[in-house]
Amino acid sequence: MTAKRPVVGVIGSAHLAEGKFAAQRVGERILRAAADTAGALPLIFAGTPEITDVEALLDTVDGILLTGARANVHPSHFGAEAHPSYEPYDQPRDALAFKVIEAAVTRGVPLFGICRGFQEMNVAYGGSLHPEIRDLPGRLNHRALRLANGEINPDPKVIYAERHTVRLTPGGVFAKLLGAESIRVNSLHGQGILEPGKRIVIEGVAEDGTIEAIRIDGARGFALGVQWHAEYVADPNPVNRSLFEAFGKALLDYRRAR
């Protein structure tokens, strides 16, 4: 009998379809990365506390994937003021993601946070974010590249191209997993970590000082987060593929153990 694939829960984000219908959405690229590279069956769950039972969710899946999203984490979660220029926000997802992170880590359920998911991991443990990391002195513009008319470049090869270097902690989890202490990554974010949370261990920093890779201290299982979009597994850089393959192994190990 062929072994069943591990199941990974992929969080959804609020979306108003056709400007009037409340919906949840997840980009297909991250679903394909979970399926094709991690070897898992992706199962989308709503980023809405009223309709997503966290304990039932974690009884069902073998891991959690926290995706990137258009919305920023609401500043009220780390004692800052909201501002219209940093909208949209998705407060239902905020509330659910924090609960899922803490419960998954407590149970030892594999957890992988990407972009917004990486930021959610930091805030879940008391950390703060800056709404526009490029406004800090000496920082690069980490947002997606745009055309001369101001629109985001539509070419995925341009959008997801390597943009900057990340220095990894020597001997750390990421350095061991990737077999390197310096990697090149893409960059498509405005918000970024300002102060790390109490259980957040920084394992990767960009050349301008922006935090790019973290792990959760004391976690019993895979509990890693990256600021870049690691779901772009077709990138010539093998970093993204290695991360999803490692996550897939953690999912399978967890499934077998339970």
DSSP string, 229-257: -TT-TTSSSTHHHHHHHHHHHHHHHHHHH
Place of tokens 């992988």: 112
Nearest to 7 by CA among 53, 46, 50, 65: 65
Three-state SS for 32? helix
Active site residue 231: yes
Among 115, 130, 132, 189, the one annotated catalytic:
115
Active site residue 189: no
Burial class (CB in 10 A: 0-12, 13-18, 19+), 85: exposed
In eight-state DSSP terms, residue 46 is -
**Residue 207 falls in the annotated catalytic set:** no
- The catalytic position among 120, 132, 212, 231 is 231
Dihedral of CA atoms 52, 53, 55, 56 in degrees, nearest 10, equals -90
> In the numeric block, which tokens belong to residue 134?
């490029």
Catalytically active residues, by annotation: 115, 229, 231
